[in-house]
Chains A and B, each alone.
Chain A
Amino acid sequence: MTNTVLMRLNRITKTYHMGEVTVNALKETTLDVYRGEILVILGPSGSGKSTLLNIMGGMDLPTTGEVFFENRNLGMANDNQLTSYRRNEIGFVFQFYNLIPDLTARENVELAADLVDEPLAVTGVLRDVDLADRMDHFPSQMSGGEQQRVSIARAAVKNPRLLLCDEPTGALDYQTGKLILALLVKINRDRGSTVVIVTHNTPIGDMAHRVIRMRDGTIAEIRENASPLPPERIEW
């Protein structure tokens, strides 16, 4: 794998003011994300991993430092530019799926597909996540695993260059979790999307090309993984 930089976070910090308390969620952090890699960010709660993900996803801006997506400086972006960035470049998978309860699986995916000029085929993506026969079900009629697969299909249908996953297995049982991870690997392999997974579940790091360990608002360790394990073989 050639290490072309897709995203560069340069000495970023993030400070929140919560009333009279100042929280340094992210201390000076520098990180490059490579095109086509699977990057797993590990760390306990409060370690800053979610803040990092939010900044990567254009949902939040750093207090100081620079964020480049290719040559685009996201640190200088306004709200419209950030929206357009999320729309065209990013796919999001949430811990609690956040599907629209009033839309069926197919319609939830269509909702995202409508946003971009060249989406993947909706039914094709749903078939890829093995939901061909559940397409017309509503979220309330589906299990957590099924909902998360819809969520992945919804993220993938835009064919994003960066797929950001926040605790994608957090609300799922062991077997289902592994299935979801396998889907993410498949998207990475078939579509070439860069996949960033945030989790506190250390063994998941074994499937990544690189593993970042966050502690206390900064990167404590970056580890390259010469031979990532397929998710089916990960145990936790």
Chain B
Amino acid sequence: MSALHKKLWRTIGKTREQFIAVVAVVTVGIAVYIAMTTAYFNLNESKEKFYRDHNFADYYFHVVKAPQQVTKQIETIPGVTRVTGRIQKDVTLVNDHNKRATARLTSYSLPIEQEINSLQLLTGRFFAEEAMAARPGEQYTRNGDIEILVDPQYAEANQLNFNDTVTIVAEGKMVPLTMVGTATGPEFIYLMKDAATLLPDPRSFGIIAMSLERAQQLLNLPGQVNQVLVTLAPGTDAEKVAEQVKSILEPYGNLAAYPRKQQLSNAMLEGELDSLKSSSRFMPAIFLGIAAAIQFVILGRMVRSQHLQIGVMKALGYNNRQVILHYTCYSVLVALCGAVLGTLLGLALASVMSRAYAVYFNLPATIGAVNIQAILYGFILSLGVSTLAGLTACRSVTAINPAESMRPEPPKGGGKTLVENLSWLWRRLDTAWKMSIRSAARNRGRFAITMMGVVFAVGMLVVSLFTIDAVDYMIESHFHQNQRYDYLIRFTSPVKENELLNITRVAGVNKAEPLLEIPVKIKFNGKNEDDSITGLNPGSTLKKLRDPREQPVEIPEAGLLISQRTAERLGAKVGDTVEVETLLGTGPARHAPVKIVGINKQLVGGGSFVSLEQANLILQERQLVSGVMLKVDPAFAAQLKEELEDMTAVSSILSRRQELDNFNQNMDSMVYSISIMVIFALLLGFAIVYNSSVISFSERQRELASLRVLGFTVKEVSGILLKENLLQSLLGVALGLPSGYLMVKGYISAVSTDLFTMPAIIYPTTYIYSALGGFFFIMVAHLLAVRGVRQLQLVEVLKNKD
């Protein structure tokens, strides 16, 4: 080992705490980069593979009903590679304890490999196409049973096993089905009933797969399908094909047509991938940026304090390049240590993230690959950033003249600062504050870097804690303020309003308010959007609506309270008249012009609202309702639910309590990721404040020791350092809070999808906790950095300099 290398090792040994602190920041940066990049890569690869292997559809068409043969006609359209006609319908599921759930009955033709959105069998075997058609060697089910596959999450949540019976309500009859296994498909990766649902809830929603023939029999649709799925050749103009398909399907009642990117599961998955991708760039950039800044400060200081040694090295014949490389090696070692530790930590985090994703996303083959490319990039990134910081910090080496370097340094230039112009303030400051302010003004670069570090750390705290606020706010506004019913009952088909009396008379119902939900297409100015219109009585108390400024709005007697999302997409505003086309699936489609009288905003899902009367007008009906909202006496709740479950006309019962429980359950994993973020933020803040304090302390040891000689106590000297520290840190905290707000805004726009917008709600307590978190890392860093005050060598002060 050369003498220079030895010197480097000893320098690191002497500054080991600083070295460790900056390595920690690099480690976190690289860990976050590798974890997120790997998780992104694996999730994306799993998705791509699943989509590819199971012929994920490029376009979806929903019709009322169409003859099966129509697919032959669609196959002839240029660009269409494959067409599948199928039946998909939401049916009521009645499970063991007579509880209601919704099943999305989906049909498949065998052989399954030919199908678009084909199934992947996870357990058991495929359903037989006809009764008793189980192949030899396979377990037989009871004669005549209709065999089905269920999605694994529903099976698990409801403890379903092979040969168990699942009962659905089809065409008004209870039909027992026999489960022969579990399976999943590319359209069911993220399994939610619709965009208005907050989170997947496998207890209340599941997929039932069966053969097309059985589905046709069950739903009384012989030879018919109600959905057509197509895959397209690469490079095909999807919209052009869609227009052609729609015109073919026109006679059969087009209900909806949407491309792959609007498919709910895919949209949710893509949304997660997008936010993962942007976080995987943003977060490491902060950490590596701060790490670079710290290294810049450490090395800059090192070069300055060792100018004598550098002078000697040069006098001995080392050239600038050798000296610069020597100091840059320090940051290269930081980068290497950080990259190695970061890779290890990152891979561990990646597997934690993959496990979390496995809970939400139903991907049969999760790819858990170690992403060599991410690791390579991590090393390049870390080394690149550190080397750059090192070279920049050491460039002043070239200016050191061996002869001059051996003279003692002149006193550092003090000078007036801007604050001094405010003489009324300046006069009120004590001497220690004056020292701190001037020292900060003299070390502007370091001051700014420390402050920025604190700004980012506090900002990150705000962002981390904000997630809790947002969820809390959503719960509060969704479950407590806007959705005031205990149960939302939906009927299998619309009924007359007076038939509701059956329900309102059930013991324990305190209040019942009817609603009429209609799936619609809203058209304006040549554009159209799928939406749903809900009719409520003006003055309804069980469902409250808010405008985009979070102010309550009432249901108008006439006119449309359009959803914010639909209004924005159509470019429609209050006063415009839009055309509403109903997509009920039974009866003829109705077209009606409706004037927009207001805009409503929902945090989750969407939906437009009208009065019950207006909804009936659109349908050209009178006093029709499709569901009812109930407020019940808690004492009767259990009994009441049982009574409701027994009513055949009821298709689903949405319990607010159950939704809330499901929501809260899903928050556990969130707490985990928030804790990690908080720890990272504290670490970042600590590392920067600690390093800057240590440097400030070491630069001023002589000055501080002379204060000790004058009679300052250890506490008073630490106090001076604390003031200087607080000056930059508090400013950092003060700026960190609004920056946190901006970071939250950025975060929201990164994670928001078409379906889901996080409210930019930050509670005051979040600011308070973030500020306290800031004080915490500042104080810990300060106390560790000024431990040396007690050991200051007073006698040294009297000795000659250098």
A residues within 8 Å of B by Cβ? 50, 53-54, 57, 59-60, 79-80, 83-84, 86-88, 90, 92, 94-96, 98-104, 107, 110-112, 114-115, 138-141, 147, 154, 158, 166
Contact = CB atoms under 8 A, between A and B. Distances in A.
Contacts of A158: 711
B794 A99 contact: no
Interface string B409-427: 0111111000000000000
B308 to A, nearest CB: 16
Interface string B389-431: 0000000000000000000001111110000000000000011
Given A53-B798, A59-B795, A98-B797, 9 more contacts: A83-B708, A87-B710, A95-B798, A96-B800, A100-B435, A102-B414, A138-B414, A138-B415, A140-B413
A86 B798 contact: no
B82 interface: no
Contacts of B442: 102
**Looking at B411, B708, B713, B795, which has the most chain A CB atoms within 10 Å of its CB?**
B411
A44 to B, nearest CB: 15
Interface string B574-605: 00000000000000000000000000000000
Nearest to A114: B431
B411 A94 contact: no
A48 to B, nearest CB: 13
Contact of B431 (A54, A111, A166): A111
B800 A110 contact: no
A103 B435 contact: yes
B348 interface: no
Contacts of A147: 411
B82 to A, nearest CB: 77
A60 B711 contact: no
Given A114-B430, A138-B414, A94 B798 contact: yes
B703 interface: yes
**Looking at B435, B706, B710, which has the most chain A CB atoms within 10 Å of its CB?**
B710
A101 B794 contact: no
B709 A87 contact: no
Contacts of A84: 711
Interface in B771-802: 794-795, 797-801
Contacts of A104: 414
Contact of A140 (B411, B439, B714, B801): B411
A158 B711 CA distance: 10
Contacts of B411: 99, 101, 139-140, 147
B709 A57 contact: yes
B438 interface: yes
B214 interface: no
Interface of B: 410-415, 430-431, 434-435, 438-439, 442, 702-703, 706-714, 794-795, 797-801
B435 to A, nearest CB: 5
Contact of A138 (B413, B713, B799): B413
12 contacts: A50-B798, A60-B795, A83-B708, A83-B714, A86-B710, A98-B703, A101-B414, A102-B442, A103-B414, A104-B414, A115-B710, A138-B413
B703 A100 contact: yes
Given A103-B414, A140-B414, A98 B702 contact: yes
A79 B717 CA distance: 14
A109 B795 CA distance: 22
Nearest to B710: A112
The 7 closest A-B pairs by CB, nearest first: A87-B711, A138-B414, A102-B438, A98-B706, A86-B711, A59-B794, A101-B412
A165 to B, nearest CB: 10
A134 to B, nearest CB: 13
B710 A111 contact: yes
**Looking at B442, B702, B795, which has the most chain A CB atoms within 10 Å of its CB?**
B795
Nearest to B708: A83
Contacts of A83: 708, 711-714
Contact of B710 (A54, A92, A140): A92
Contacts of B703: 98, 100-101
B710 A107 contact: no
Contacts of A86: 709-711
Contacts of A57: 709
A54 B794 CA distance: 9
B780 to A, nearest CB: 24
A218 B430 CA distance: 44
A124 to B, nearest CB: 18
Contacts of A100: 435, 703, 706-707
A86 to B, nearest CB: 4
Contacts of A92: 709-710
A77 to B, nearest CB: 13
A104 B713 CA distance: 22
Contacts of B713: 80, 83, 87
A107 B434 contact: yes
Nearest to A147: B411
Contacts of B430: 114
Nearest to A59: B794
A54 B435 CA distance: 27
Nearest to B797: A98
Nearest to B703: A100
A181 to B, nearest CB: 18
A206 to B, nearest CB: 24
A114 B710 CA distance: 11
A142 B703 CA distance: 17
A139 B414 contact: yes
B712 A107 contact: no
A154 B709 CA distance: 12
B798 A140 contact: no
Contact of B798 (A99, A114, A166): A166
A51 B124 CA distance: 90
Given A102-B442, A115-B710, A140-B414, A96 B801 contact: yes
A98 B710 CA distance: 11
A95 B702 CA distance: 13
A76 to B, nearest CB: 19
Contact of A110 (B412, B431, B439, B798): B431
Contacts of B707: 100, 111
A155 to B, nearest CB: 8
Given A94-B798, A140-B411, A140-B414, A102 B435 contact: yes
